[in-house]
Amino acid sequence: MSKQQLIIEEWNGSSSTKLFKTATITLSPSIQIQSVTPDYVSFQVWDSLQGLSTYIRTMLSTQALLSAIGVGEKSATIIGATFQWFLRDLTGMIGGILFTLYQGSNLDSNAKMWRLVADLMNDLGMLMDLLSPLFPSAFIFIVCLGSLSRSFTGVASGATRAALTQHFALQNNAADISAKEGSQETMATMIGMALGMLLAQITTENPLAIWFSFLSLTMFHMYANYKAVRCLALVSLNFERSSILLQHFIESGQVLSPKQVSTMEHVLPVWTTLKSSKTAKPLHVNVKLGLRVSTLDHLEMINLLNSAGSFYNKAKYLLVERKGIVSVVVHKDSTGADTLRSYIHALVMVNLMDEKGSPHLESQAWMDKNYESFVHKLKLAGWKTERLLSHSIIWKARWSLDEKTD
């Protein structure tokens, strides 16, 4: 007898023309419902705990900030307090704009790292608020520094949350997940505020108790954030995950799963671990995607011309080796798949730099033999191979080869 199964899709929306899928139910000998990724629950547990500790500490830092401004003192003036609060907010706004201009295109490709950095910056901002009453002469500078730190948090946290929501949504149900996360955060906020007010009442006029409570909650907050980002098994390909996957494939011929890669990739900036690490640098450190052609000198342009005619005449990219760094010139009409192929090719070339022979020739031979198999195994392991997550703004070029006869 053949076994039958029934697949039911659940949809929701405000009208028949605005529907989104919320779940897929497979009816067989067992019922399976998957509308979110397996790492969703563990992440939300740790995320709720870190949020709770944040809102408790917010009451302590706000209490200290208001005290430093002069709330409750007869000598304080309304206009003076207003001006100080205005400078604090203005600094934060300017900082948020500058941070977006400088790092906005990098947040999506390194969501785990920036999510952790965002919360660390928030911790620094609250620490500045708590320090402000201790240094009256430097009050404006300290609170503006804290506001600047929190402005980075707002930008990075908002951008990475959107990226993570898309990751969790298996059935195009990002709106539903976002709404549930909002309700969860509201609940954590209310509980945290209540506990924070209770703690502020208990520790009033006891600096030692305030600092002990704040630092203890901060340590727990950092731990919970680390555990939260470590729970994430992202299936999108960025620079580091591509490098890890390729290195393992070259060594074993197999592809790691997203869960395996999640335990190997960095959640802090790479430079924080490279200095202390005795192992070889990862391949992606020596690859630059999106080279600006106008920065090449005459000799490099000649080498680029020879490479275009010899190795990349049918490709939508060119590779240039400069002092151990392989740079990728991306064609203006390249697709996401072309960009991924160019980056993998550059990683292969870096891996072959110490070998004898031509890196261009050997890397091209490897790509012709192994690339399709590599991408196929990536798809089977659950990786998204449609595009490479990178800086949204990269330099591109357009070229054509015209043969001239004497």
What integer pLDDT is reported at residue 361 of this predicted model? Answer: 86
Confidence at residue 103, expressed as pLDDT on a 0 to 100 scale: 72
CA 231 to chain centroid, in Å, comes to: 14
Q: How much is the pLDDT for 348? A: 94
User: What's the pTM?
Assistant: 0.81
User: What pLDDT was estimated at residue 1?
Assistant: 46
| Structural domain boundaries in the chain | 39-231, 239-381
How far is residue 401 from each of residues 303, 306, 318, 396, measured CA to CA in Å? 14, 10, 13, 17
Which amino acid, 22? T
- Per-residue b/e over 285-302, b at no fewer than 16 CB within 10 Å? bbbbbbbebeebeeebee
pLDDT score recorded for residue 72: 47
Residue 53's alpha-carbon distances to 111, 147, 206, in angstroms, are: 22, 19, 20
Q: Which residue has the tokens 């005619």?
A: 309
Distances (CA, A) of 47 to 76, 188, 257: 39, 10, 24
DSSP string, 317-366: EEEEEETTEEEEEEETT--HHHHHHHHHHHHHHHHTTTSSS-HHHHHHHH
Q: How far apart are CA 314 and CA 334, in angstroms?
A: 12
Contact 333, 315 (CB under 8 A): no
What does each of the 406 residues of the chain score in pLDDT, given as a tens digit? 455 666 777 767 665 555 666 666 666 655 455 778 889 999 999 999 999 999 999 888 888 877 776 654 555 566 766 777 788 888 888 888 888 777 766 777 888 998 998 899 999 999 998 998 888 888 889 989 988 998 888 888 888 888 898 888 887 788 888 888 888 888 988 998 899 899 988 988 888 999 999 999 999 999 999 999 999 999 999 999 999 999 999 999 999 999 999 999 988 766 555 554 555 678 888 999 988 888 877 777 777 777 766 666 678 888 888 888 898 888 888 888 999 999 999 999 999 887 777 888 899 899 999 999 999 999 999 999 988 887 655 778 777 666 555 5
The highest-level CATH class for domain 39-231 is: mainly alpha
Task: For residue 246, give Cα distances in angstroms to 258, 338, 341, 354.
Answer: 13, 17, 12, 17
